Amino acid sequence: MDITGSSAIVTGGASGIGAAVARALAARGATVVVADLNAEKGEALADEISGVFAAVDVTRTDQVAAAVEAAGEIAPLRACVNSAGIGWAQRTIGRDGMLESAHDLDAFRKVVEINLIGTFDMTRQAATVMSRNEPDADGQRGAIVNLASVAAFDGQIGQASYSASKGGVVGMTLPVARDLSAAGIRLNTIAPGLIDTPIYDAFPDPDAFKANLGQNVLFPKRLGRAEELASMVVECLTNSYMNGETIRVDGGIRMPPK
């Protein structure tokens, strides 16, 4: 599926995997709407790739609606990538054995609200705008990629909310792909392993933490690069025969059971 001359929307596009995806889609000739909470980084990236920044909190359905409509007015919206996400907030707490904090209900709701419900809302609203496109020769009107995590399959201590939210993203992939196929829209999900992005910046010693994590990767013994995720996202968007699939991109990671 050709995205040249189309618009594309990338949530979480201001940072990490989303930013690498935004650059890759711009290089493919799409006009990218960088949809993120972070206006400073989002605007800078939009300038760099001749795209557009949209201030979007994915938990605000009115903001999601405005962003997809704006994207559809630039050019036919043919690509949507949901990379906005949070999730490591409870990790340290859980490791300390503070179950009450790790299982705080408000925190659980917040993670699910952003990672799962925000992803679902953007998926359905982007699909509505895509359904107005003229189909290509294959009958296709657009494609969507959602970011889950290997935590959907192999969660760690203190990460119930994160694993539940990402498990939901994996679980909805096939049924939503089935729903959208009637409109000529494909949906795939990518489950990253440990990717070197600013998501780790909040940790006390991020470099030591990342080096330690890299030892759990089968091969090569390092964290993944955002560009290595972006190339798989582009493949899922543009390969017309990819649909309803969840793909791990994780260096063969095997986390120790601790």
Q: How far is the CB of 163 from ligand NAD (least distance, A)?
A: 11
200: annotated active-site residue: no
The string of DSSP codes covering the chain is: ---TT-EEEEETTTSHHHHHHHHHHHHTTPEEEEEES-HHHHHHHHHHTT-EEEE--TT-HHHHHHHHHHHHHHS-EEEEEE------TTHHHHHTT-HHHHT-HHHHHHHHIIIIIHHHHHHHHHHHHHTTSPP-TTS--EEEEEE--GGGTS--TT-HHHHHHHHHHHHHHHHHHHHHHTTTEEEEEEEE-SB-SGGGTTSSSHHHHHHHHHTT-SSSSSPBPHHHHHHHHHHHHH-TT--S-EEEESTT------
Backbone angles phi, psi at 232, to 5 degrees: -70, -35
Q: How far is the CB of 175 from ligand NAD (least distance, A)?
A: 20
Q: Which is nearer to ligand NAD, 16 or 72 (CB)?
A: 16
Q: How far is the CB of 204 from ligand NAD (least distance, A)?
A: 17
Q: Which is nearer to ligand NAD, 19 or 185 (CB)?
A: 19
Q: Which is nearer to ligand NAD, 58 or 77 (CB)?
A: 58
Where on the chain is the footprint of ligand NAD (CB under 6 A)? Answer: 11-12, 14-18, 36-38, 56-59, 83-87, 114, 118, 147, 149, 192, 194-195, 197-199
Q: How far is the CB of 184 from ligand NAD (least distance, A)?
A: 26
Catalytic pick among 102, 140, 162, 190: 162
Q: How far is the CB of 182 from ligand NAD (least distance, A)?
A: 27
Q: Which is nearer to ligand NAD, 85 or 155 (CB)?
A: 85
Q: Which is nearer to ligand NAD, 160 or 184 (CB)?
A: 160
Residues with active-site annotation: 162
